[in-house]
Amino acid sequence: MSARRKRRLFFALWPDAEVRNSLASAAAVVRKHGSGRSVPDENLHITLAFLGSVDEEVLDCVRSAAEQVNAGAFSLTIDRAGWWKRTGILWLGPSAGPAALNRLVKSLWAALEPCGFWPDFRDFHPHVTIARRWRKARLPEIKPVHWPIDALMLLESHTGQRGARYTLLERWPLIR
Ligand code: ATP
Ligand code: MG
């Protein structure tokens, strides 16, 4: 029996340095009003599709799925903080329904289906997790962050001593 290598993968929107700085500043403001476990600034992202533990041999299918995604670039405004009581997740996200983002995620899951992934689009709530195990104090207003979305990224998650670490595997520009 051969031990097949598995990799923990997810598609995400990965901010550039400028957007990351702005998200980090907004996160710092929100995190002044409570306590929990902060997500390090270098980990901030929006997950589009979580694939979980994937066999090495499925990776080619995943890559070609990403190539087939039919979506153009758009602009996302991150303008509010939120908190999910049940999971203890503190987040930043868009308050306006991001139709272009929903179309992107729909197209991505549709492309992934032949690789054996079950779309969980119904559960898609775009957010940047900024802390976990959060006990709510209050949610302040944030300075809106304008995030130009022009690419889709595939990331691998590694379990480090101080929580998850991510490596960027590949990036696909959004062109239609
Ligand atoms: P840790 O699990 O170590 O606290 P993490 O959740 O950031 O850190 P992963 O569990 O590898 O690391 O998850 C990678 C990304 O996928 C994160 O954005 C996470 O929120 C998301 N994710 C993880 N599990 C699921 C899931 N079951 N459904 C949807 N998204 C998920
Ligand atoms: Mg996790």
pLDDT 10s digits, 68-105: 999 999 999 999 999 999 999 999 999 987 899 999 99
pLDDT in tens, 133-160: 999 878 999 999 999 999 999 999 999 8
Residue 132 confidence (pLDDT) above 80: yes
Query: What share of the chain has pLDDT > 90, as a percent?
Result: 85
- Number of helices followed by number of strands (H, E) in the chain: 3, 10
Q: What is the DSSP string of 109-175?
A: HHHHGGGTPPP-GGG----EEEEEEEE-S-------EEEEE-EEEEEEEEEETTEEEEEEEEEEE--
pLDDT on residue 52:
94
* The pLDDT of residue 2: 55
For 60, 88, 167, the CA distances from 115, given in Å and listed in that order, are 9, 32, 22
Residue type for position 20: R
Phi then psi dihedrals of residue 41, to 5 deg:
-55, -35
Check whether 1 has a pLDDT greater than 60.
no
Q: How many angstroms is it from 166 CA to the middle of ligand 1? A: 11
Q: Ligand 1 pocket, 164 CB below 6 A?
A: yes
Tell me whether residue 45 is one of the annotated catalytic residues: yes
Decide: helix, strand or coil at residue 88.
Answer: coil
pLDDT on residue 3? 62
Active site residue 127: yes
